[in-house]
Structure 1
Amino acid sequence: MLPTLSTLKSAVQEELNSILHYWVNHSVDDKNGGFIGQIDCNETKQFETEKGAVLNARILWTFSAAYPFTNNPAHLDLADRAFQFIDSYFYDSLFGGIFWSIHPDGSPKDTKNQIYALAFTIYGLTEYYKISKKEEALQLAINLYHKIEKHSYDKEKNGYFEAFTREWQPIEDLRLSEKDANEKKTMNTHLHIVEAYANLYEVWPDKVLKSKITNLLIVIDIYFIDSQNFHLKLFFDENWIEKEDVISYGHDIEAAWLLQWCAETIDDITLINTYQTYAVAIANATKEGLDSDGGLWYEYDPKKKELIAEKHWWPQAELWIGMVNAWQLTQDETYLNLVEENFIFVQNHLIDKKNGEWFWGVYSDYSKIEKDKAGFWKCPYHNGRACLELLKRL
């Protein structure tokens, strides 16, 4: 039986509390400082694993965003801890970038400037500034924004380049992860730059920054949204020649609501209208990835006509926001029903009822994907944000 709106909201509140409780109680690294680099699928804390910039930036964002909802001093403490740790160990004071990863002792490990990591750090810092009013957090975010504009922005052909060395020189391996294509311009990085810039604009309404957000939204419209099928195009070279790849259902539905929010943040009526239309069209396209159990499949390879038959945690979380947003725009309750069905799927298969938090995902036979409970890519941001957004919107 599908939950009613009020029971869904209370279940989401309960789940948010559970997610935050897990990270408060399990993620703090009392041995080395900051946060543990990895908790594996067996709940074993790996104190000697490298620590990733993205994990730490997302912890900063999550607890900064959650604190106004919870007023829990432990959540403010975790946000403070994340800010201090990023400021002390991930920020490269010599060259003004963000280390991709550090050793457990805090020394730099992978020193490349992956623009995605700078963007997430801006996103976390600006959210933290909202609750702390610490000028050093805002100034660090502004400094990183200037670094992205100086080094990553393509002044000739528009858009943003993926990655650089520590010294801001060209780098051969541009990939975010092993599964990604080694291309110079990607949907994922553009999506998270504009997300970060919009969050910065909320606390620092700079005219030039606003023009950069406007430009990013136009670039994404031109290159990354497929106007035929309303899926996202993922990879391009520096000349905007596409390298065809998979359909990523999670990125589709994340972009659907997030880009609309960015347009709303700068209050650009034309772009708001454009991205509201896209929000519904992309939500409809994402339905192709839904299974009969309410779960959202991970990816589809159109060339091979092959489904990547896994259901990862984060696309489910983004589905909640994207479909609730489509319901708000259209008042069509079909979208809300999809959220309710997916919530039941998540409760049945992804939430770890024994230890808390969510499993990485399940295969088509519902066996667990044995990857991190917390780690380089397994963070409280997607599911935490989904709960926060639903509490706002419902």
Structure 2
Amino acid sequence: MSEENDSLEQFLDEIKKEWFDILDYWAESTIDKHNGGFLGEIDNSGVVNSKIAKGVVLNTRILWTFSSAYNYCKNERYLEIAKRAFDYILTYFFDHDNGGLFWAVDTAGQVVDDRKQAYAQGFGIYAFSEYYKASKDQRSLTHAINLFYLLESKYKDDEFGGYVEALSKDWKPLSDMRLSTKDANEPKSMNTHLHIIEPYTNLYKVWENIELKNSIKDLLAIFYNRILNQQTFQFQLFFDMDWTVKSNEISFGHNIESAWLLSDAARVIHDEKWIEKMETAAVHVTDKVIHDGMDLDGSVFYEKIDGVIDKDKHWWVQAESIIGLVDTYKITQNKKYLERAIQIWSFVKANIKDSKGGEWFWRVDKAGKPVVGDCKVGFWKCPYHNTRALIESYSRLKK
């Protein structure tokens, strides 16, 4: 028993220190002192791409990260960085004419992609609600609430339920609604719905509104009845408007991320029926990821398409797997899940964490080598998955 306790205490000490180290990296290495805000891209060697566009996803995730860090430990430095992100988003990404958040701006802050992804509006809610908790700035709560009503009024599908992927700057349909070139061009996706229920849950923590609660319940039902395959316990990725499945990919990271976030949503709204359903499903989903997606060293593969596994190990997949396994351990009290979380952390320390340059590599290959050409800071490479996984795991295990 003492050996188990020592292993757990070491794990907790290490992940808390790593959380602080990642925050330090972003605070010290990513501030754009020339153009304001934050740098748009830094490669694995620390070289800055000074011409790359800045994305709203990166900036809202930075706002959430430093707001949540302040909320946890009350370090004024974190609140200052969060304010920098908040001010930059409102100045450059916010559409003051039509409402909502643009997708990308150039280094000078000029809009270069004015599409309005539902995903981006969701991350705006996530970030603004967390910053309101940290700063008590009423503007931030107002923006979060306004984005909630915008998603409900502009993106919600009243016929089949759920939300469409994207609209133009003035709320007209788009022929290409993809988040990225990797995605299928379909009107609905699991990923976007996950990152709508996630911010709705965070907003509910500071704004207990009945319409918001009902929308969270509706999303839980959509995930349970439409997105989750009840036979395989895997989340399907892309859909037509009527929820016809349009993909055969399996995303191990999204599976385990969804499992814990959906359980968390049910807990936050205190709905016993959905807590039981989602926690039961979470255990099955986690077991499926362990069976199908884990390598012999305990790390988690990226995805499987047409039966072929992509054996790269992405930073965010390892991060979400750690917190997903910790959450499943808390549900079941079965120590095998905690042991696997610690095993992934050992893999991250040895392979994903950049001990010399700081932060985590985007991904490593099957042999554990960083993939050439990846960035450490970028449109999608952010401090949100790993800092959240570390502090959420620490907080759950310290209770």
Confirm or deny a common fold (TM above 0.5): yes
Correspondence for 1:36 among 33, 39, 43: 39
Residue 366 of structure 1: CA displacement? Answer: 2.0
**Equivalent position of 1:319 in the other structure:** 321
Distance, in Å, in 1 between the alignment partners of 2:142 and 2:11 is 39
Offset from partner CA, 1:95-121 (integer Å, 9 cap, x none): 101110001101111000000001011
Correspondence for 1:392 among 389, 392, 395: 395
Q: Which amino acid aligns with 2:218?
A: N
Offset from partner CA, 1:186-226 (integer Å, 9 cap, x none): 00010110111111111111111111111111011111111
Correspondence for 1:364 among 348, 363, 366: 366
Correspondence for 1:332 among 326, 331, 334: 334
Correspondence for 2:210 among 194, 207, 211: 207
Distance, in Å, in 1 between the alignment partners of 2:335 and 2:23 is 30
Any residues of structure 2 matched to 1:129-144 within 5 Å, and which? 129-144=132-147
Distance, in Å, in 2 between the alignment partners of 1:52 and 1:258 is 24
Any residues of structure 2 matched to 1:173-322 within 5 Å, and which? 173-287=176-290, 288-301=292-305, 303=306, 305-322=307-324
SS in structure 2 opposite 1:93? coil
Q: Which amino acid aligns with 2:294?
A: L
2:132 equivalent to 1:111: no
Correspondence for 1:70 among 57, 69, 73: 73
Residue 48 of structure 1: CA displacement? Answer: 1.6
Paired residue total: 392
SS in structure 1 opposite 2:382? coil
Structure 1: which 5+ runs fail to align? none
Residue 68 of structure 1: CA displacement? Answer: 2.7
Correspondence for 2:385 among 366, 382, 387: 382
Given that residues 351 and 369 in structure 2 are in contact (C-alpha distance below 8 angstroms), is that contact kept between their aligned partners in structure 1? no
Distance, in Å, in 2 between the alignment partners of 1:245 and 1:78 is 41
Residue 10 of structure 1: CA displacement? Answer: 0.1
Offset from partner CA, 1:307-355 (integer Å, 9 cap, x none): 1110000010001111011111111111011011111100000000001
Offset from partner CA, 1:257-309 (integer Å, 9 cap, x none): 100111111111101110010111111011020101111000012x2x21111
Given that residues 290 and 297 in structure 1 are in contact (C-alpha distance below 8 angstroms), is that contact kept between their aligned partners in structure 2? yes
Distance, in Å, in 1 between the alignment partners of 2:377 and 2:248 is 28
Distance, in Å, in 2 between the alignment partners of 1:320 and 1:187 is 21
SS in structure 2 opposite 1:243? coil
SS in structure 2 opposite 1:217? helix
Distance, in Å, in 2 between the alignment partners of 1:206 and 1:344 is 42
Residue 163 of structure 1: CA displacement? Answer: 0.2
- Superposed CA RMSD in Å reads 1.1
Given that residues 53 and 105 in structure 2 are in contact (C-alpha distance below 8 angstroms), is that contact kept between their aligned partners in structure 1? yes
Distance, in Å, in 2 between the alignment partners of 1:278 and 1:78 is 38
Given that residues 252 and 282 in structure 1 are in contact (C-alpha distance below 8 angstroms), is that contact kept between their aligned partners in structure 2? yes
SS in structure 1 opposite 2:229? coil
Q: Which amino acid aligns with 1:363?
A: D
**Equivalent position of 1:16 in the other structure:** 19
Question: What TM-score, normalized by structure 2, do the two folds share?
Answer: 0.97
Given that residues 29 and 47 in structure 1 are in contact (C-alpha distance below 8 angstroms), is that contact kept between their aligned partners in structure 2? no
**Equivalent position of 2:172 in the other structure:** 169
Distance, in Å, in 2 between the alignment partners of 1:24 and 1:178 is 30
Q: Which amino acid aligns with 2:51?
A: E
SS in structure 2 opposite 1:155? coil
Distance, in Å, in 2 between the alignment partners of 1:71 and 1:130 is 12
Offset from partner CA, 1:41-83 (integer Å, 9 cap, x none): 2211112210000000000001111113332221111111111
Distance, in Å, in 2 between the alignment partners of 1:321 and 1:352 is 20
Distance, in Å, in 2 between the alignment partners of 1:330 and 1:155 is 37
Given that residues 31 and 39 in structure 2 are in contact (C-alpha distance below 8 angstroms), is that contact kept between their aligned partners in structure 1? yes
Structure 2: which 5+ runs fail to align? none
**Equivalent position of 2:348 in the other structure:** 346
Given that residues 41 and 48 in structure 2 are in contact (C-alpha distance below 8 angstroms), is that contact kept between their aligned partners in structure 1? yes
Q: Which amino acid aligns with 1:151?
A: K
Given that residues 157 and 239 in structure 1 are in contact (C-alpha distance below 8 angstroms), is that contact kept between their aligned partners in structure 2? yes
Distance, in Å, in 2 between the alignment partners of 1:78 and 1:47 is 20
Same amino acid, percent of matched pairs: 43
Question: What TM-score, normalized by structure 1, do the two folds share?
Answer: 0.98
